[in-house]
Structure formats: structure tokens, C-alpha cells
């Protein structure tokens, strides 16, 4: 299975970075993570996160875990005292069967 978080705008990097950190900590041995930046230094810079997980049967469970991680981080965003993190949209997440 594979999940992709597509075209993350530069202003959402900190928030998606928190999601990335949370998931990569939970899944240190069973999921592989790739985070790639494009157009670095340009006003329209963006990135992609790709997650590879073993198996191809439980797309709904993987999506639910990603949604839970986004919701957890979103709760932290509301408490960010410096307002550096911005809300993110779980709609950027796409889970695919390889």
C-alpha cells in the first residue's frame, strides 16, 4: 500500500512535518517514508510525502490512521503560541493499493 500527500505548500510544511514526525515515530520499522521538496527557494515551493506500507488489503485502516494523525496535529496547531503552524487539509491524502 502507498499513501501520498500531494503538493504541500510551503506554509503548511511545519504542520505536515509534525504529521510526518508522528507517523514515522509510530511506524519506525514497518512503513517507509519519503519527503521530497520541489522548487526550493521559489515563491511556489512545495513538497510531497510518500508512505509505503506492507500489504494491500486495508486501505481504510491506513487512511483512518492518517486522518487520526492529522487530527492530533490539528489540535496542536490550535495551541501553537507563535502561530507558526497552519491548519491542514486531510483531503491532500491519497491512499493507493500497489
Percent of the chain exceeding pLDDT 90 equals 76
What value does the mean pLDDT take over residues 69-89? Answer: 93
Q: State the average pLDDT for the chain.
A: 92
Report the predicted TM-score, pTM, of the whole model to 2 decimal places: 0.89
pLDDT, tens only, 34-71:
999 998 888 899 999 999 998 877 889 999 999 999 99
Residues 6+ apart with CB under 8 A from 66: 3, 19, 23, 90, 93, 95
What value does the mean pLDDT take over residues 13-39? Answer: 95
Amino acid at each position: 500500500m502507498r499513501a501520498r500527500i500531494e503538493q504541500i505548500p510551503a506554509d503548511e510544511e511545519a504542520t505536515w512535518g509534525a504529521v510526518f514526525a508522528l507517523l514515522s515515530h509510530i511506524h519506525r520499522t514497518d512503513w517507509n517514508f519519503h519527503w521530497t521538496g520541489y522548487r526550493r527557494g521559489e515563491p511556489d515551493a512545495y513538497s510531497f510525502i510518500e508512505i509505503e506500507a506492507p500489504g494491500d488489503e486495508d486501505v481504510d485502516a491506513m487512511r483512518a490512521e492518517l486522518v487520526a494523525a492529522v487530527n492530533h496535529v490539528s489540535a496542536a496547531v490550535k495551541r501553537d503560541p507563535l502561530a507558526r503552524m497552519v491548519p491542514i487539509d486531510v483531503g491532500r491524502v491519497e491512499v493507493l493499493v500497489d
